[in-house]
Amino acid sequence: MRLRVNVLGIESGGKPIVFLNKQDADEIGVTASARVRINSKRNELTAIVNIAPKYLKKGFIGVSEEASRALSLKRNSLVDIEVATFPKSLQFIRHKLNGKRLLYNEIHEIVKDVVQGNLNEGEISAFVTALHIQGLDLDEATSLSSSMVETGKQLKLGKKIIVDKHSIGGVPGDKTTLLVVPIVAAAGLIIPKASSRAITSAAGTADRAETLMPVDLGIEEMQSVVKRCNGCIVWGGSLELAPADDIFVRTEYSLSIDPLLLPSIMSKKKAVGATHLVVDIPTGRGAKIKSIGEADLLAKDIIELGRRLGIHSHCVLTYGEQPVGFTLGASLEAREALGVLMNKTNVPDLVDKACHLAGAVFEMVGKKNGYALAREILHSGKAEKKLREIISFQGGNPAVKTSDLVIGEDVFHLRARKAGEVLWIDNSALVEIARAAGAPKDKGAGLVLHKKIGDKVSNNDLLVTICAEKSRKLSRAQEILSEQEPIGVGDRREMFIHKVKEAPVVRRAFVLDR
């Protein structure tokens, strides 16, 4: 059927969609959510159907921005429409639903159709769900990683050794990357770091870095920054390194499942050309990985997956029972990291973690005494100098001071109601409070911890300061505080953890950021 194009200026988040008049849809034989094949003079495309009875006249087809771009369609041009056959990849998704292992070419077909918008939301979700329930083995993880690289853009630096660092996430306040990248780059190694924004956390590395410099770089800009100063800290989302993953992650987020964790990480490392990779696995009751045994198993898989993709990988297990450093929230965390680089602020756990990770990178490429080398680069001010170079090349102000980082002025102080010792810190409660206060959207929102695990506390001592840009959001954070205790103060002999009552309200404490 030949229809006239009406570009609607609707963006539907990646996949191309079209709107058909009810009569036309019946004539073609499709209903909402079905697929049609659109043939323009230049190109063809499969798109998902929506029905628009009144809005769109018979004989017209409304196309989304995505569909219009893909086919270079103009208003009133003519296109031919027919029912699309079911994509071959659907057959492979069904195989996985029925417990079969998928081969490389089958996975590649699925990933390609995800990126091209040939699979609808429900079908993609079925695939992710099946991966979660049936599991995926290392062959499948390798295929997924490779396919996600092949269907995305790649950074071509033409260097023999390119290092990278990654945290599987799950511990709040983790601003370690802001230290590791300049330490490693200052030692002359190439580290093209792409980071994510917060999805379920209070701040991602991209959010933190953005308070210091633009992070929204294209792949050519990223390449030019790295060539000039060995490193960068940019947002991975605008690079299109693994566009399939950006689509999978939406489903994973709403279902609180994470079966694509490893392929997601490794595909992005492969896409920037990493040859040596250190992966941080924060481990602890409040982190994504709860026990050391679990962390070791994951490490084994990461190393093996790396081997298959041609990336030498080491893992570093780190203590994840409480936040890293004293702050949560983009500006607060950037300020803390900058203070440490300038040797103005003393944050022992942050420094220890950064030097272990940078040190592991150094030792992988053959440098001796990695930890000491990292510490020396940090203390000498070379790392600070390198960060200011990166800030400058990415378009920020290289003379930035800690006081330039603006913190929300609506504050609330949480004080201890008894004396004792900090026995535990509830990571997810802290994240929930920081997010209620405005993080990650409000860069100046977040919180400052005044005590950490093991610290002595007197009655009425300051425990946490919550900062917000808007008083309305501060109130929301206070509400959460009235229901939850984020820091446990007590005596080591106290046995009580918490009660579980009838109809328990199970909290959403899912960590997706990776």
Are 197 and 235 in contact by the 8 Å Cβ rule? The answer is yes
Nearest to 430 by CA among 347, 290, 332, 344: 332
- C-beta atoms surrounding 136 within 10 Å: 21
Distance between CA 252 and CA 347 in Å, rounded? 34
Amino acid at 225: V
Nearest CB to a copy of itself, comparing residues 56 and 234: 56
6 sits near a copy of itself (criterion: CB under 8 A): no
Phi-psi domain of 29 (left: phi exceeds 0; alpha: psi -120 through 50; beta: other): left
Segment interacting with a copy of itself (CB under 8 A) among 50-58, 143-151, 223-231, 339-347: 50-58
Nearest CB to a copy of itself, comparing residues 152 and 259: 259
Site string for a copy of itself, 387-426 (x = CB under 8 A): ----------------------------------------
Write the secondary structure of 345-404 as one string of H (helix), E (strand) and C (coil). CCCHHHHHHHHHHHHHHHHHCCCCCHHHHHHHHHHCCHHHHHHHHHHHHCCCCCCCCHHH
Number of residues that bind a copy of itself (CB under 8 A): 51
128 sits near a copy of itself (criterion: CB under 8 A): yes
130 sits near a copy of itself (criterion: CB under 8 A): yes
- C-beta atoms surrounding 77 within 10 Å: 14
Classify 105 as helix, strand or coil: helix
- Position among 2, 41, 44, 53 found at the interface with a copy of itself (CB under 8 A): 53
251 sits near a copy of itself (criterion: CB under 8 A): yes
86 sits near a copy of itself (criterion: CB under 8 A): yes
Per-position b or e across 336-372, b if 16+ CB within 10 A of its CB: bbbbbbeeebebebbbbbbbbbbbbbbbbeeeeebbe
Pair of tokens at residue 6 = 């009406």
Site string for a copy of itself, 13-42 (x = CB under 8 A): xx----x--x---x--x-xxx---------
Q: Cβ of residue 86: shortest distance to a copy of itself, in angstroms?
A: 7
Going by C-beta distance under 8 Å and a sequence separation of 6 or more, which residues neighbour residue 90? Answer: 119, 123
Segment interacting with a copy of itself (CB under 8 A) among 110-118, 123-131, 278-286, 402-410: 123-131
258 is catalytic: yes
159 sits near a copy of itself (criterion: CB under 8 A): no
Segment interacting with a copy of itself (CB under 8 A) among 128-136, 137-145, 286-294, 481-489: 128-136
Distance between CA 173 and CA 440 in Å, rounded? 12
Segment interacting with a copy of itself (CB under 8 A) among 37-45, 71-79, 215-223, 252-260: 252-260
Are 362 and 374 in contact by the 8 Å Cβ rule? The answer is yes
Which sign does the torsion angle of CA 217, 221, 222, 226 carry? negative
Q: Cβ of residue 254: shortest distance to a copy of itself, in angstroms?
A: 6
125 sits near a copy of itself (criterion: CB under 8 A): yes
476 sits near a copy of itself (criterion: CB under 8 A): no
453 sits near a copy of itself (criterion: CB under 8 A): no
Nearest CB to a copy of itself, comparing residues 30 and 183: 30
Q: What are 188's strand-pairing partners?
A: none
Residue 289 per-residue DSSP state:
B
Nearest CB to a copy of itself, comparing residues 231 and 236: 236
Residues making contact with a copy of itself (CB under 8 A): 8-14, 19, 22, 26, 29, 31-33, 50-56, 65, 86, 90-91, 93-94, 97, 99, 120-126, 128-130, 132-134, 250-251, 254-257, 441, 506, 508
Residues carrying an active site annotation: 258
